């Protein structure tokens, strides 16, 4: 079982976390497998959820996996994070490039945050090169397809073990 970190993170109030990881997915990710398979592949969001659940178990995590096309849902889920959540993995989809409101919500939580993108956003359209949520993230993983979520779980486990912010 993973021994979770307890203490100050990124200069905010001290917390003690449990072993639940919240994974939030934004707009259009429910269409994975059908939407632009040449960019995103044929793996579906339920496939990614299954990967995360399985890998989370190997790390000692319970995974709470969610998706919404509504920005307000994502913000509410972030605002509802409490001591029962060890960390957050977020793929905000297109809201990454547009939502100051998501950034503001993310800045209120005292947990490690890993930003994930399936595609390499820096090899795509210029407007995708700007992430409004990166300033609140501990780190960003992009361009590795569904495996990026597994990498994010590993990175989160490392952050929780070490209690250090590498960002």
Structure tokens at 14: 């001290």
In sequence order, what DSSP letters do the residues of 144-156 get, joined into one string?
A: STTHHHHHHHHHH
126-151 pLDDT, tens digit per residue, is 755 678 898 999 999 999 999 999 99
80-130 pLDDT, tens digit per residue, is 997 789 999 999 998 998 899 999 999 999 899 999 998 877 556 675 567
Strands 113-117, 139-142: pairing is parallel
Q: Which residue among the candidates 55, 95, 117, 132 is catalytic per the annotation?
A: 117
Q: Which residue among the candidates 40, 95, 132, 149 is catalytic per the annotation?
A: 40
Alpha carbons within 13 angstroms on the beta-carbon side of residue 104 total 8
Decide: 94 and 27 in contact? Cβ < 8 Å.
yes
For the chain, give the percent of residues with pLDDT over 70: 81
26-57 pLDDT, tens digit per residue, is 999 998 887 777 777 789 999 999 999 999 99
> Does residue 161 have a pLDDT over 50?
yes
Confidence grade of residue 165 (pLDDT, cut at 50, 70, 90): very low
The SS3 call for residue 140 is strand
Q: What is the dihedral of CA 32, 132, 20, 119, to 10 degrees?
A: 30
Question: In the annotation, is 117 catalytic?
Answer: yes
Strands across the sheet with 20-25, in order? Answer: 62-67, 20-25, 85-91, 113-117, 139-142
């Amino acid at each position: 079982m993973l021994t979770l970190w307890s203490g100050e993170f990124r200069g905010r109030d001290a917390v003690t976390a449990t072993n639940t990881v919240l994974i939030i997915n934004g707009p259009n990710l429910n269409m994975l497998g059908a939407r632009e398979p040449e960019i995103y592949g044929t793996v579906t969001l339920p496939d990614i959820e299954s990967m995360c659940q399985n890998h989370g178990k190997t790390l000692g995590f319970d995974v709470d996996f969610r998706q919404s096309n509504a920005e307000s849902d994502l913000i509410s889920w972030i605002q509802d994070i409490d001591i029962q959540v060890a960390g957050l993995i977020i793929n905000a989809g297109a809201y990454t490039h547009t939502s100051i409101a998501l950034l503001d919500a993310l800045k209120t939580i005292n947990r490690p945050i890993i930003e994930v993108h399936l595609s390499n956003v820096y090899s795509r359209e210029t407007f995708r090169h700007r992430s409004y949520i990166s300033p609140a993230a501990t780190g960003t993983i992009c361009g590795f397809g569904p495996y990026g979520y597994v990498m994010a779980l590993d990175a989160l486990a490392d952050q929780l073990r070490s209690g250090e912010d590498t960002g």
